[in-house]
Amino acid sequence: MLNKSYYLIPIISAIISISFWIGFNINLLPEEASINAPIYDELFRILFIIGLILFLGMTILVIYSLFKFRKKTGEIGDGIALEGDLKLEIIWTIIPSIIVLIVGLYSYNIYDRMGGMNELNNHHQIKNLKSEKIWAGINQVSNTNGTNNPLVEVSAMQFAFLFNYPKGDFISGELHVPVDKTISIKMESKDVIHAFWIPEFRIKQDIIPGQPTILNFTPTKVGKYPIICAELCGPYHGGMRASIVVEDPSDYEEWFNENKKTEV
Ligand code: CUA
């Protein structure tokens, strides 16, 4: 008869293969509509695969144990007490530690690639904010077309987002931005903590009263996407939504010119 561990090898290989297959073929996330989205999804895929391996492994082990260690007829009591198993304890401490360490370093790398570790106050796009302290945010390394990006000021309040376009001197209830340009927005809250979340862009940033935050992103697909408040901010938090409209630069220009205040 074969040693018990010989049966384990094909079972573990099958679990790992199935998990990888599901991880690479089943997508649970919405459309990828910004340059951050594919970066974020890479991390999500890894975490999803690790979760699948654990879930399948545990489930199979539980079902196996249900049959294997079933109470036999005439059996009384729980059997002999188990003492600690040093080898097993070392294994189940080391393996999770390595996984957590790798995931931690990899997450840091993803956050860095998304622009989370960049200096906020020295960026050319926000120079005109004088020496005001920006507390937090994601500062993407701007790509080629950095100069005439619209700087939108977002005000969050219970229970709405307002978008101020200082260059055109108007306020909009809907955020319009041109496609394939790095957009820089500055966010402030009028009351409590809110959060600016666009699932299709895979970005989320808190909006904090008295502490402006910056968020940079580059939309890659024309379309209309939801902006959702992702911080419990009061009784109508669930209804605090707005939309972002990503347009071709010419359509954006047209919308901007229609709305901007004409000089007297
Ligand atoms: Cu604003 Cu929740």
Q: Decide the pairing of beta strands 160-165 and 175-178.
A: unpaired
CA 155–ligand 1 middle distance (angstroms): 12
Phi, psi values for residue 134, rounded to 5°: -100, 130
Digit-coded pLDDT (tens) for 213-229: 888 888 999 999 999 99
Q: What average pLDDT does this structure show over 201-211? A: 89
> Mind listing the pLDDT tens digit for each residue in 41-66?
999 999 999 999 999 999 999 999 99
Over the stretch 92-144, which tens digit does the pLDDT of each residue have?
Answer: 999 999 999 999 999 999 888 887 777 655 444 444 444 455 555 665 544 43
The helix/strand count (H/E) of the chain reads as 4, 11
Per-residue pLDDT at 111: 86
User: Do residues 207 and 154 touch, judged by C-beta distance below 8 A?
Assistant: yes
Q: How far is the CA of 3 from the centre of ligand 1 (A)?
A: 58
What pLDDT is stored for residue 2 in this prediction?
57
Task: Please state, rounded to an integer, the average pLDDT across all residues of the chain.
Answer: 84
| CA of 207, closest atom in ligand 1 | 1
Interior/surface letters 134-154, b for 16+ CB within 10 angstroms, e for the rest? beebbbbebeeeeeebbbbeb
| Ligand 1 interacting residues, C-beta cut-off 6 A | 159, 194, 229, 231-233, 237, 240
If you take atom 1 of ligand 1, which residue's CA is the nearest one?
Answer: 194
* CATH number among 2.60.40.420, 3.30.70.270, 3.40.50.970, 3.20.20.60, domain 124-259: 2.60.40.420
Q: What are the boundaries of each domain within the chain?
A: 4-70+84-113, 124-259
Looking from the CA of residue 238, the nearest atom of ligand 1 is: 2
Identify each DSSP E strand in 118-239 by its residue range: 136-138, 151-157, 160-165, 170-172, 175-178, 183-189, 194-198, 203-207, 213-217, 223-229
Give the three-state DSSP class for 211. Answer: strand
